[in-house]
Amino acid sequence: MPSISDKGKLMPQSPIRKLVPYAEDAKKRGVEVFHLNIGQPDIKTPKVALDAVKNNNLEIVAYSRSEGSEEYRAKIADYYSKNDIHVSGQDIIVTTGGSEALLFTFGSIMDEGDEVIIPEPFYANYNGFSTASGVKVIPVISKIENNFALPPVSAFEKLITPRTKAILICNPGNPTGYLYSKDEIKKLAEIVKKHDLFLIADEVYREFAYDGSKHYSVMEVESIANHAIMIDSVSKRYSMCGARIGCIVSKNKEVINTALKFAQARLSPPTYAQIASEAALETPQSYFDEVIEEYVERRNTLIEELKKIKGVKVAKPSGAFYCIAELPVKNADDFAQWLLETFNYNNQTIMVAPAAGFYSTPGVGLNQIRIAYVLNKESLLKAVTILREALKTYNS
């Protein structure tokens, strides 16, 4: 029988999706499952985006330009200018989600065996993208004790080798919800300039900044214009995860021209999704104000309730809609599976994402889970009650 590739064997399973069969089995048994495992917002997609697709009278769904339509890219640039990010449509390549944007970026700036430094825990699919690109992830550990703040500059510099090509951050962070300060971004800018590296910033949660904090983009640091690459997406901002529209933004013309070749190889991003995404840019500020207010209430509810559970340690997120919780268990993978296979409380259970999959350092994060607070407050309260009772039963 023919064999599959070594790369295929090394490709990691999603820690977020691998428990889906157990959740489906639980539902078949009549158990209600509260999904805390995936960042699928329950917030409605802006009506203006849905109407743009419904009311469209296209007669041919044709290819668009490989870099995305000129009109859409110009409007994205206009949106960025309102956020103190001054770029033109020529600095943007529209992609099929932020995932493709990262794959194109890795392919454009790194060769097989090159290294990318990433503060961990990090979005689990960074492991997958690096494996698919033949790139090695070099983790620098951030800690729950200080809310997963940026590790010291010295920790990064110790890891830089001749194969290091980039530092990658997610800001605000998935899975931690940590929002990097302006000072932290400036420190990273100094490192990449000093060592001639790229700074890739996954900024798909830009709008979700809480407690009066302001998001500071790598694209605002003028001194690293040729080092900075921003990854973006409509998925979370407009609750349009299924649209699969993202983009690469960089003032480095060589990066953009190279990424365009990858974009040409896959032909074009989806037409209807671009129509929806372009229309979504007309979403009023009131939409975001209401959404952020809702997420702050959810975050506060979740963190307050988690802190009441004996043995649970939790970092308070200042952005996005995730938090990492450390549980009084040895193996969160086993616990998460047990929750779905065996346990129920009043015929209800929860689905969580074991956090070990958000690390690349072996043996780290084994007793941690990621919780996505994308459910309404009533459901979150029920979910935490289930977690409390589950821990009592599991540990007895």
For 288-339, the pLDDT digits (tens) are: 999 999 999 999 999 999 999 999 999 999 999 999 999 999 999 999 999 9
DSSP helix/strand/coil, 39: coil
CA distance 228 to 250: 6
CA distance 227 to 192: 7
- Domain residue ranges of the chain, discontinuous segments joined by +: 6-44+286-395, 47-280
**What's the pLDDT score for residue 238?**
96
Q: What percent of the chain has pLDDT over 90?
A: 96
For 249-259, the pLDDT digits (tens) are: 999 999 999 99
For 99-151, the pLDDT digits (tens) are: 999 999 999 999 999 999 999 999 999 999 999 999 999 999 999 999 999 99
Q: Are 79 and 229 in contact (CB under 8 A)?
A: no
Architecture of domain 6-44+286-395: Alpha-Beta Complex (3.90)
CA distance 59 to 62: 9
Among residues 299, 316, 355, 300, the alpha carbon closest in space to that of 146 is found at 316
For 54-106, the pLDDT digits (tens) are: 999 999 999 999 999 999 999 999 999 999 999 999 999 999 999 999 999 99
Asked, colleague to colleague, whether 6-44+286-395 and 47-280 share their fold, the answer is: no
Inter-CA distances, 241 with 45, 144, 371, Å: 9, 28, 18
pTM of the model as a whole: 0.96
CATH of region 47-280, choose from 3.40.50.11540, 3.40.50.261, 3.10.290.10, 3.40.640.10: 3.40.640.10
Reported as a pLDDT band with limits 50, 70 and 90, residue 42 is confident
Q: Indicate if the pLDDT at residue 16 is higher than 80.
A: no
Read off the DSSP letter of residue 368. E
**What's the pLDDT score for residue 15?**
72
Q: What's the Rg (C-alpha) of the chain?
A: 21
CA distance 16 to 357: 8
